[in-house]
Amino acid sequence: MSKFPQKRFYRQRAHSNPIADHCFTYPSHPNEFDWKALYPNIGEDKVEFADIGCGYGGFLVTLGELFPDKYALGMEIRVKVSDYVIDRIKALRQVHPDKYQNIACLRTNAMKYLPNFFEKNQLSKMFFMYPDPHFKRSKHKWRIINQALLTEYSYVLRQGGLIYTITDVKDLHEWIVKHMEEHPLYERLGDKELESDIIVEKLYETSEEGIKVTRNKGDKYVAVFKRL
């Protein structure tokens, strides 16, 4: 029997209310969080990459492989989905004891609790991959990118840090670009800069959502922004 978790036991609807109270445990201050429980070897190092809404963790695993000396945290609000990622990383570590020590997943509401986990300027990269489009107009304020949230992200993201976004929903892509460009602290990177970034090509292929969209021959829209 495979050690790896089977996804069919962890399926969950794609939407979650980010404003509602959920049962979360989160530190009241970043100093109070025990990072060694997630990364036994972290020592005095700190998490630098955050995959916000990491889904089933495909991209998170790739990040861990691409940057073996950086710590990456996947944050996912859905109970079963985050548990899948946790079990998947546990299985990966068992099979490859010297690898995957630098990735972990937490069930939390990243829209609300980023400052509870991360200090000011702690992160160098944030990823928003296939975020919930919340198509209804009344739910637009639940979208993971808006003016108020961009200000919150710029608190944990250091100057020069990057925000990567990808979606298969054109309307959401336009929304993201519009809000990022309106915010005084972000600047969109041009195609040339994207070409030289090894992460960008991985964005297209390594998350489960990405593979599904490719299978369906859908379009994918990538936009990357620098924190000024």
Partner 1 sequence: MALLTTVSDTILLAAKREVKFFNSDGTNVQHLLLPAFDPKNTKQSNDIEDDDERSEEPAKRLISQKEESVIQNIAVSPNGHLLVITTTGDKLVYTYKILATEKQELVSKRTLPRISSAIAFSSDSKYFYIADKTGDCYEFSCENVDLAGKWILGHLSMVLDVLATQDLRFIITCDRDEKIRVTNYPATHLIETYCLGHTEYVSAISFLPTNANQVLVSVSGDKMLKIWSYIDGVLLFDYALPSAGLKMILRKINETTSHVAVTLYKETNLIICEIEQASDQTFTVKLISEHNFKDCKEITSLVFENDGNILLASVNTNNSVDVQRLIFTSDKYVECDSVELNKNLGDMVLDLQYNFENISMLFKKRYDNIKDYHERKKRRIEDQKQNSYNIL
Query: Is 14 an interacting residue with respect to partner 1 (CB under 8 A)?
Result: no
Enumerate the active-site residues.
132
Which segment (12-20, 40-48, 123-131, 158-166) binds partner 1 by CB under 8 A? 12-20
Give the Cα separation of 47 and 76 in Å (integer). Answer: 16
The reply to whether 110 sits in an annotated binding site is yes
37 binds partner 1 (CB under 8 A): no
Residue 62 CB contacts under 8 Å (≥ 6 apart), including other chains: 202, 206
Report 174-203 residues binding partner 1 (CB under 8 A): 183-185
155 binds partner 1 (CB under 8 A): yes
* Interface with partner 1 (CB under 8 A), residue from 38, 111, 180, 203: 111
Measured CA distances, 42 to 47, 69, 101 (Å): 9, 10, 8
Q: How many residues are there in the chain? A: 228
What gap in Å lies between CA 113 and CA 117, rounded to an integer?
7
Q: Does 94 bind partner 1 (CB under 8 A)?
A: no
Is 21 an interacting residue with respect to partner 1 (CB under 8 A)? Answer: yes
80's enclosing H/E stretch is: helix 79-95
Residue numbers 124-153 binding partner 1 by CB under 8 A: 136, 138, 146-152
Is 119 annotated as belonging to a binding site? Answer: no
Sheet-wide strand order for 71-76: 103-107, 71-76, 47-52, 123-129, 157-167, 221-227, 186-188
Q: What are the binding residues?
A: 53, 76-77, 109-110, 207-209
- The residues of the shown chain that bind partner 1, judged by CB under 8 A, are 1, 9, 17-23, 28-30, 79-80, 83, 107, 111-113, 115-116, 120, 136, 138, 146-152, 154-155, 183-185
